[in-house]
Amino acid sequence: MDISILTAIQNIITNPIDRLGEFYVARNRINNMGGALEEYVKDIFASTIGEMDSHERIKQFDKVFSYMGNQNNPPDLIIRGGDAVEVKKIESIGADLALNSSYPKAKLFSNSPMITRACRTCEDWNEKDILYVVGVVNKSVLKKLYMIFGIDYAANADVYERIKNRLSKGINLIPDIEFTETKELGRVNRADPLGITYLRIRGMWGIENPAKVFSYIHQINRNKSFELMAIINLDKYMSFSEKQRILFEKSANEILGFSIKDVLIKTPDNPANAKKAKLITYIR
């Protein structure tokens, strides 16, 4: 199956649904806006936006996705033979993304301790590109949607691991406190005289949303009812099939508000280096 971010963008444009609350919550598919956004993202990749038969929708999901995850472990989705997808909801254009204990990822690796066994074994894979899909949802209405690959958004894992390891090492050197081994930054045991209280020390990662990060190539229009912004580096874009790219570019020439531009973006590991990319926008 030739399923990619281009598939999702085409479905966003040809099957517009902004009122996530009415479409998903009202149909009892989900009971919160974060969940509604995730269901919407599944539908745009699986081409099931108009599918009202739950059984048929599940059958299509089984064809398209090899993994659908949970809230505690990334990613939210894996496309069979394709990319991983992480969905994030924010409530305003300027809000940052809360990543909690998981730092942002340039790539997803099968040996990562943050993923589940089900994710690790869903396919025969070692690494995957990870696509961040960020929705601005206000009062159950999807106002903006940003789509950006981790390789163009986050630094190499070594950058974050170095900070994490230095903090963890420093915490464990504090004298007169009993620490124990943990995957978190630290854990203090026997914090009270009875020896029954413990303290977990966790990192809480966050990152600026793509609209802020890429404001140097595109300014979000606050006055439009809906806006899509997607950025795809040229190597990734050219990895999609020629047939898919031709149809995608043909749509951009025919649909009002749909645009594809050649741009240069900063490389996360070295902002002095620029790389070629496609800036894809759709405004209505």
Low-confidence ranges of the chain (pLDDT < 70): 1, 25-31
Rounded-to-integer distance, Cα 34 and Cα 243, Å: 34
pLDDT at residue number 29? 57
pLDDT at residue number 259? 96
Q: How far is CA 236 from the centre of its chain?
A: 16
pLDDT at residue number 48? 94
Rounded-to-integer distance, Cα 105 and Cα 131, Å: 9
Q: Going by DSSP bridges, is the β-strand pair 205-207/97-100 parallel, antiparallel, or unpaired?
A: antiparallel
pLDDT at residue number 267? 96
Rounded-to-integer distance, Cα 11 and Cα 275, Å: 28
Domain range summary for the chain, segments of one domain joined by +: 5-156+205-283
* pLDDT tens-place string over residues 74-123: 899 999 999 999 999 999 999 999 988 889 999 999 999 889 999 999 99
Rounded-to-integer distance, Cα 278 and Cα 134, Å: 18
In this structure, the number of other CB atoms found within 10 A of the CB of residue 257 comes to 14
Rounded-to-integer distance, Cα 146 and Cα 133, Å: 6
